[in-house]
Structure 1
Amino acid sequence: MSLWLNALGASVRFHDVNGVRTRCLEAGEGQAVLLLHGIGGHVEAFAKNVVPLAQRYRVIAVDMLGHGMTDKPDGDYMPPDYAAHILALMDTLGIARAHIVGESLGSWVAYWMIQAAPSRVLSWTCCVGAGLQVDGFDNLRSPGVAELRKRSSQASAAPTRDSIRARLEWLFHEPGRFVSDELVETRLRFWSNPAMLRIQPMIAGIMDPERGGQFYITAERLERVATPTYFLWTEFNPTTPWQAAETASRHVRGSRLDIMPNCGHWPQYEDPDGFHQRLLGFLDSVAVGADCTPAS
């Protein structure tokens, strides 16, 4: 099914966030759920999710700073930079507190939102999250991230249908089922944008252990998290294996862990029904009684 047939019922909106024009895909009412994509991604990563989740929540998928159709200023593009942008977006939208669902880089950003403003994050869903360094596992030095760096570099240096397809195929356990011509064309348009070509080296800098490693989510940092936390992983995640997620979950008091079978790095796209069932079970369990008074 087409990306945008899946998204029928949602609205594309652009918001001025401290001068940064920011694209969002939005639907629903009630407590806010923000969906944050991975590195190089865009709201289309959640095309299958916004409308179903909006049956119970106000759902906002965001093109993060520099990504998709959001503005592309010069900058460091490290997790605290993305986190500051998302918190400012919440201010713009009048959202005092939100559930943050982060996939890959998006989860790393969510952690740094907790560090910056813990009272504003109602819950943290760490979905195949990036940036973990726990008990001997180092995400940025893993073979999966090395392969991601290679494919990303090839696709950003020469954005063609073939290089973009190869980059997208890395995301899926069964790429032949999910890497459609439409998805390739969509990402090709974003990655061929001259502004995107200019900032790609800045965005890629986070995958350098010497730079991104300053912001690792370590066991010590996890032990200080008091936010309700859900580690939602997959059987075949190409970066951080589920065993490392299981280890990480033991460092967050009261956290939950689920492992989705037969999925790679985009479980929300590969098995949306399974993703919604698991995520809503968690969100519903922490949403009761949560104070979501609008920001003044």
Structure 2
Amino acid sequence: MMSFWTDALGAQVKYYDAGGWRTRVLEAGEGTPVIMMHGLSGHAEGFIRNVVPISQAGFRAISMDAIGHGLSAKPLDVTYHAPLFVEHLKRFMDAIGAEKAHLVGQSLGGWTAFNFAQAYPDRVASLISITGAGFLLSDAESQAESARIHQQVKNVTKKASEAPTRDKVKERLQWLMWDKSVATDELVDTRFHFFMLPDSRAAMPKMVEEQPGEENRKYLLDEAQLAKLDIRTKIIWSDHNPTTPWTVAKKVSEIMPNADFSLVESAGHWPQFEQADAVNRLVIDFLKG
């Protein structure tokens, strides 16, 4: 399999000072920013197959390391709940001079995007959620499923990050994929490198305890909040997502006043990586629509 870094040819690795927090990004192109945000324990490379194609469609495409992740700042004097990630995104947008941006969030990144849109609707050009977190429907089945998913994500991430080994990281990445072979040695080595950094070893246990924790669940959007989120939205899901099933995501798209839904086949939690061409087409068509 070809190196995924060939997908990034034409992009640059850059660092920004986001209000005192170092922020690493993969960036390409000019135009309205499209800011891509990864999931818990992830990094900018989660969107490495999307940055250049989106930039070639006429946008400033940016995949960022969230606070606490990758090569971005990993402060220990914060609480890794949704408001922190929202504040980081706000500071980052200020740092790049973006009054407005299209927000693309996968998993935790989707949670950040939804909360940011609720707090700063005038700064959001559109929302794209790719197997994104951030919502909680009120029926008993959805409540129970959400609690199960949060515990599952916490368990698999904790196992990989507390005492990292290459095999544990590989298992965590394979959990993301429908086709396990997509979790290549290169991808495993990249994430293992990030997990073994001294600042990651210090911050990761705190973040893994706090981010999927019970206290953070109050920042999930319910039906009433979703119904008020009148921002043009695209919800992209996969047929083999190991967390929230696509049927729930479709319900969310029906609750929101200006959202539509697309299902990507033969993909797990990372459709933007496993089925990059299909997701790129959906994203670009939506952005240009």
Q: TM-score, normalised by structure 1?
A: 0.92
SS at match of 2:261: strand
Task: Report the counterpart of residue 294 of structure 1 in structure 2.
Answer: none
Instruction: Say which of 61, 67, 70 aligns to 2:69.
Output: 67
Equivalent residues of 2:164, 2:195 under 8 A apart: yes
One-letter code aligned to 2:266:
N
Structural mapping, 1:207-226, within 5 Å = 207-208=212-213, 210-226=214-230
Task: Report the counterpart of residue 243 of structure 1 in structure 2.
Answer: 247
Task: Report the counterpart of residue 8 of structure 1 in structure 2.
Answer: 9
Equivalent residues of 2:153, 2:212 under 8 A apart: no
Aligned mates of 1:141, 1:206 — CA distance in 2: 13
Task: Report the counterpart of residue 79 of structure 1 in structure 2.
Answer: 82
Task: Report the counterpart of residue 42 of structure 2 in structure 1.
Answer: 41
Task: Report the counterpart of residue 202 of structure 2 in structure 1.
Answer: 198
Equivalent residues of 1:131, 1:140 under 8 A apart: no
Task: Report the counterpart of residue 288 of structure 2 in structure 1.
Answer: 284
Deviations 1:57-111 (A, max 9, x none): 1101000111100010121111111111111111111111000000011010001
Deviations 1:234-269 (A, max 9, x none): 111111000101111111012100011111100010
Equivalent residues of 1:151, 1:163 under 8 A apart: no
Aligned mates of 1:125, 1:234 — CA distance in 2: 14
Aligned mates of 2:227, 2:121 — CA distance in 1: 14
Aligned mates of 2:32, 2:134 — CA distance in 1: 27
| 1:159 equivalent in alignment to 2:167 | no
Task: Report the counterpart of residue 95 of structure 1 in structure 2.
Answer: 98
One-letter code aligned to 1:257:
F
Gapped regions of structure 1 (runs ≥ 5): 286-296
Equivalent residues of 2:114, 2:134 under 8 A apart: no
Equivalent residues of 1:26, 1:61 under 8 A apart: yes
Aligned mates of 2:121, 2:153 — CA distance in 1: 31
Aligned mates of 1:188, 1:140 — CA distance in 2: 28
Task: Report the counterpart of residue 23 of structure 2 in structure 1.
Answer: 22
Equivalent residues of 2:49, 2:272 under 8 A apart: yes
Task: Report the counterpart of residue 32 of structure 1 in structure 2.
Answer: 33
Instruction: Say which of 130, 133, 136 aligns to 1:130.
Output: 133
Task: Report the counterpart of residue 147 of structure 2 in structure 1.
Answer: 141
Aligned length: 282
Higher alpha-carbon deviation: 73-82 or 96-105: 73-82
* Identical counterparts, % of pairs: 37
SS at match of 2:228: coil
SS at match of 2:176: coil
Aligned mates of 2:146, 2:191 — CA distance in 1: 24
Aligned mates of 2:4, 2:22 — CA distance in 1: 23
Deviations 1:109-147 (A, max 9, x none): 0011112211000101111111321142135413x4433
| 1:184 equivalent in alignment to 2:185 | no
CA RMSD of aligned residues (A): 1.2
- Deviation of 1:149 after TM superposition, in Å, equals 2.0
Aligned mates of 1:134, 1:58 — CA distance in 2: 34
- Deviation of 1:189 after TM superposition, in Å, equals 0.8
Q: TM-score, normalised by structure 2?
A: 0.95
| 1:50 equivalent in alignment to 2:51 | yes
Aligned mates of 1:202, 1:282 — CA distance in 2: 37
Task: Report the counterpart of residue 293 of structure 1 in structure 2.
Answer: none
Aligned mates of 1:212, 1:160 — CA distance in 2: 28
Aligned mates of 1:19, 1:106 — CA distance in 2: 21
Task: Report the counterpart of residue 174 of structure 2 in structure 1.
Answer: 169
Aligned mates of 2:153, 2:80 — CA distance in 1: 17
Equivalent residues of 1:140, 1:213 under 8 A apart: no
Equivalent residues of 2:41, 2:69 under 8 A apart: yes
Equivalent residues of 2:12, 2:28 under 8 A apart: yes
Gapped regions of structure 2 (runs ≥ 5): none
